[in-house]
């Protein structure tokens, strides 16, 4: 089936406009500026009772990167903005997961699947390896990407929001 010239150009223009809209949406969301960005996350954090703080070293290329992920997570756990919140800390590695709330029925060691099931319905602060240091926000997740060269501190302070 051959389309006439006018129809072909119309389709090309429609596809180009859709591509631009999709690229803009992806760019804004990847920079924490899109739907459910910083302001939605901040609002949800202020109202949240349960928070999952995840330090995920899977995919990390070195011990230095692992260290940076852990230091960032530890800094976040003591943040002023999380005071009074019920925080569960998850340390995820290739071999499994450690959960910060051991009790009589659970010793703190878990499978990755168990941790992922616990995490999925909580507000998430997720620290993991990234080639570039950046933070991406959605309404229910703050994802911090920490590189091998990361040399800053990680903290949340809601007094300015």
Q: Are 131 and 147 in contact (CB under 8 A)?
A: yes
For residue 144, what are the β-bridge partners?
A: 127, 135
Boundaries of every domain in the chain = 1-30, 38-160
Strands annotated E in the chain? 50-56, 86-93, 96-99, 109-110, 123-129, 134-138, 141-146
Residue 82, pLDDT score: 86
DSSP reduced 3-state for 6: helix
Please identify every stretch of the chain with a pLDDT value under 70, giving residue numbers as ranges: 1, 8, 10-11, 14, 16-36, 102-107, 159-161
Residue 56's pLDDT is 97
For 69, other C-beta atoms within 10 Å of its C-beta total: 27
Q: What is the pLDDT of residue 161?
A: 47
> For the whole prediction, is pTM greater than 0.95?
no
DSSP secondary-structure letter at 84? T
Q: How confident is the model at residue 1, as a pLDDT? A: 65
pLDDT for 32 equals 45
What's the pLDDT at 123?
Answer: 95
Residue 46's SS3 state is helix
Of the candidates 133, 145, 158, the one whose C-alpha atom is nearest the C-alpha of residue 41 is 158
- The b/e string for 13-49 (b: 16+ C-beta within 10 A; e otherwise) is eeeeeeeeeeeeeeeebeebebeebbeebbebbeebe
The per-residue pLDDT for range 53-100, each reduced to its tens digit, is 999 999 999 999 999 999 999 999 888 888 888 899 999 999 999 998
């Amino acid at each position: 089936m051959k389309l006439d010239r006018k129809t072909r150009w119309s389709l090309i223009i429609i596809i180009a406009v859709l591509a631009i809209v999709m690229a803009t949406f992806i760019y804004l969301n990847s920079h924490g500026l899109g739907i459910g960005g910083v302001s939605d996350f901040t609002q949800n954090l202020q109202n949240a009772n349960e928070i999952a703080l995840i330090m995920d070293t899977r995919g990390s290329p070195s011990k230095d990167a692992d260290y940076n992920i852990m230091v960032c997570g530890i800094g976040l756990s003591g943040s002023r903005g999380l005071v009074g919140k019920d925080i569960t800390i998850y340390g995820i590695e290739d071999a499994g997961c450690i959960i910060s709330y051991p009790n009589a029925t659970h010793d703190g060691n878990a499978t990755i699947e168990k941790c992922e099931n616990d995490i999925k319905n909580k507000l998430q602060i997720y620290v993991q390896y990234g080639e570039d240091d950046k933070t991406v926000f959605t309404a229910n997740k703050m994802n911090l990407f920490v590189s091998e060269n990361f040399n800053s501190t990680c903290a949340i302070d809601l007094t300015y929001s």
